Amino acid sequence: MSEPFVTHLTVTEHPLREDLRTEIEALGRSLRRPLLAVLTAVAGGPPRPARIVRAIGLDKSLASRFVRAVQSDSDLELMYVVPSPEGLRMLAERAADSAGPDLTHELLAVIQRFELLLDRIPGGRASIDAQISEESSDVRERSEHAARQAAFKSMSFLLGHYCETLSTTLFCVPAANGRMVDAIEVQRRIGLRRLRPATPLPLLSFYYLPEDVTPGETISFESIHGATRSDSPDDYLLREFSTNPLPELAVMRDGPISTLVLPGDPSVIAPTQLTSAFHIRNAWPLVPDERVVDVRGYILHMPTRRLVRDVYVADGLWSGATPRVTYLLPGPRGETPRPDDDGLRHYANVNLSAPIEALPASSKAYSLPGSSNHDAAIRHVLERSGHARTSFHGWRCAIMYPVPMMEMMWWLIHPGTRQK
């Protein structure tokens, strides 16, 4: 149903070799003093980009990078921020009259060491920058945000559509049979946009039991109204929390999977809001037989500016469990290592940040800023599912510019359960 269940793997990282790190830090220390002295000689202290531009006619973006470099907190960060040797040489040449021959010579000597390092390292500057980002959380955070934003822009252009906010809210509740755990999920898409009006827009997919499978303790998907075999959009869409009226949607079938698609008709306006909900029966055992359990897997097919994924567990269920989020490359894999497996990390794991915060219990427990009627939509689904009075505790993972086409895994780590 919707974004299908998946399984997980772990990553291969290439940590910065200690000798190379030492060399890069030493180069940063050697560069910081003459670079700051040259900038001060040109534009006074503390140096400001606008003053540097006025004094020697340097490009403003280049001047800003020089100032950020000398203001960086560490020598590794300086080496990440500072422009290339070509940019440094340009500064040395234009600032020669103000800085004097001794200071200019010192800066040029460090620039030459920088060039030799880049020539010696396979991949040059890109390789060094990538490895520095593994060592510095601040550098990595800024670099990852810029890369995510670039991916969002390029994928939106290539696919011809995007979404401002996509949210999923998953509730884990005891099943009626007393042996399993069910799930209820609400998905919301806010601010759908088609950059090219003739682009067909897949909105959501859902799974229904094949005719030869009997519902029981097998995992199965159904609407919150209880229909197990229907592929009617109205069984999964919540029209009262979507654009009204919704345009007519096409149903594309592929075996037991049906996908709702906005046709590639320029006269059809994409809905600005779309809310759907479904019930997953017998998703997990009531008593976990493993310490680390994959709770939900998602593949983001739509470029999205903001992604919010919430997971709630009914109070008294899986006491003491803690959440983890991992990413991996989609595609066939062998056995899926758990997030806390020892040893080398799996090649398919992708090292992307995934901040998780505990959600406080309050009168607005299900609110989401910027997502209209979010609390009302969630409470409506809980009411229809018979859990309006159920108490939950939960977590949220909110990400700006999530990377499309990656598998995102939610895990719960259960204390006191042995790993198989």
Q: For residue range 372-405, list pLDDT tens digits in order.
A: 899 999 999 999 999 999 999 999 999 999 999 9
pLDDT bin (cut points 50, 70, 90) of residue 277 is very high
pLDDT at position 230: 58
Strand ranges of the sheet holding 161-174, from the earlier edge strand across to the other edge: 220-222, 273-285, 180-194, 161-174, 304-314, 392-400, 357-359
pLDDT at position 416: 72
Distance of CA 97 to the CA centre of its chain: 48
pLDDT at position 227: 58
Cβ contacts of residue 372 below 8 Å, gap of 6+? 190, 273
Amino acid at 33: R
Higher-confidence residue of 138 and 268: namely 268
User: Is the predicted pLDDT of residue 234 greater than 90, yes or no?
Assistant: no
Closest CA to 108 of 122, 90, 124, 125: 90
User: What is the spatial distance between Cα 215 and Cα 386, in angstroms, rounded to a whole number?
Assistant: 20
384, burial (CB in 10 Å: exposed 0-12, middle 13-18, buried 19+): middle
Average pLDDT, the chain: 86
Domain boundaries, the chain: 18-135, 159-413
**What is the pTM (predicted TM-score) of this model?**
0.75
Highest mean pLDDT among 9-18, 149-158, 203-212, 247-256: 149-158
User: Is the predicted pLDDT of residue 280 greater than 60, yes or no?
Assistant: yes
pLDDT at position 372: 84
Partners of 250 in the β-ladder: 261
pLDDT at position 215: 58
Alpha carbon of 419 to those of 291, 293, 313, 326, 334: distances in Å? 5, 10, 21, 18, 18
Share of the chain above pLDDT 90, in %: 54
User: Is the predicted pLDDT of residue 174 greater than 60, yes or no?
Assistant: yes
Q: What is the pLDDT of residues 58-84, one digit of tens each?
A: 999 999 999 999 999 889 889 999 999
Higher-confidence residue of 230 and 312: namely 312
Give yes or no for a contact between 217 and 177, defined as CB atoms under 8 angstroms apart. yes
